[in-house]
Amino acid sequence: EVQLVESGGGLVQPGGSLRLSCAASGFTFSSYEMNWVRQAPGKGLEWVSYISSSGSTIYYADSVKGRFSISRDNAKNSLYLQMNSLRAEDTAVYYCARAGILQSLDYWGQGTLVTVSS
Amino acid sequence: QSVLTQPPSVSGAPGQRVTISCTGSSSNIGAGYDVHWYQQLPGTAPKLLIYYNNNRPSGVPDRFSGSKSGTSASLAITGLQAEDEADYYCQSYDSSLSGSVFGGGTKLTVL
């Protein structure tokens, strides 16, 4: 059974940093591209970042470019999102999602809440 | 506002058919990129509902179908059931942004 479990969320002050993790199981993690998607309270979905299966190709949404960094450790079946210079508008539930056929997101984690507030 | 435009809400009575539109532009849907649809039940993570414009993952009822034409796509739900009450999102790729884009979401209410 495919499972994605996010962790690392919490309360952080504006300008602070946080590192999210996503533990994958039930599939060959190293063969799949991965994404981070976020959802602000009461709002819609926003794509945040993409990483290829090898980690060699990475993309970011303009809203996080230069502040967030995606990475993966295929030996540990884990995906990461390093978030720096956090702003109030980064407050959201962050989901990791596996990329399936033609970049559809076929499996999602349960999400981890990040709150940026003083 | 979102790159892909969806109506904020739609509604229908049990048993009826509803459609949800997703309008893009020449840099995403109009450029030939595929459209995927997600269902998000209250308090849960999104779930893939339709991929590659009109394909259903295993376990998704055939009451759900998708289509795409030009710069738009649509999700149709027939035989509406109370359990279909959820938020629905379309997703595609945008070449000018070099990343995925989502619609703003549509809240489906079953009357």
Predicted confidence (pLDDT) per residue in B28-47, tens digit: 999 999 999 999 999 999 99
What is the predicted pLDDT for the residue at B107?
98
Helices vs strands, H then E, count in chain A: 0, 11
Question: A52: closest CA among A29, A75, A25?
Answer: A29
What is the predicted pLDDT for the residue at A3?
98
Q: Quick one: tokens of B88?
A: 């629905």
What is the predicted pLDDT for the residue at A58?
96
Q: How far apart are CA A43 and CA B105, in angstroms?
A: 9
What is the pLDDT confidence band of residue A101, given thresholds at 50, 70 and 90? confident
Contacts of A110 in chain B (CB under 8 A): 45
What is the pLDDT confidence band of residue B1, given thresholds at 50, 70 and 90? confident
What tens digit of pLDDT does each residue of A28-50 get? 999 999 999 999 999 999 999 99
Q: B74 — phi, psi (to 5°)?
A: -140, 145
Residue carrying the six token digits 């034409």: B69
Mean of per-residue pLDDT scores for chain A: 97
Question: B16: closest CA among B88, B68, B76?
Answer: B76
pLDDT at A102 over 90: no
Chain A residues in contact with chain B using a Cβ-Cβ cutoff of 8 Å: 35, 37, 44-47, 50, 59-62, 95, 100-111
Q: How far apart are CA A34 and CA B54, in angstroms?
A: 23
B102 touches chain A (CB under 8 A): yes
Q: Measured between CA atoms, how close is B11 to chain A, in angstroms?
A: 19
Q: How far apart are CA B22 and CA B69, in angstroms?
A: 10
On the 0-12 / 13-18 / 19+ scale of CB atoms within 10 A, B87 is buried
What is the predicted pLDDT for the residue at A85?
98
What is the predicted pLDDT for the residue at A34?
97
Q: Measured between CA atoms, how close is B80 to chain A, in angstroms?
A: 23
- Please list, in sequence order, all residues whose beta carbon lies within 8 angstroms of the beta carbon of residue A56, skipping any fewer than 6 positions away: none
What tens digit of pLDDT does each residue of B54-88 get? 999 999 999 999 999 999 999 999 999 999 999 99
Q: Quick one: tokens of A69?
A: 């960094």
Q: How far apart are CA A85 and CA A13, in angstroms?
A: 9
Mean of per-residue pLDDT scores for chain B: 96
What tens digit of pLDDT does each residue of A77-97 get? 999 999 999 999 999 999 999
What tens digit of pLDDT does each residue of A48-73 get? 999 999 999 999 999 999 999 999 99
Task: Flag if B105 and A45 touch (Cβ within 8 Å).
Answer: yes
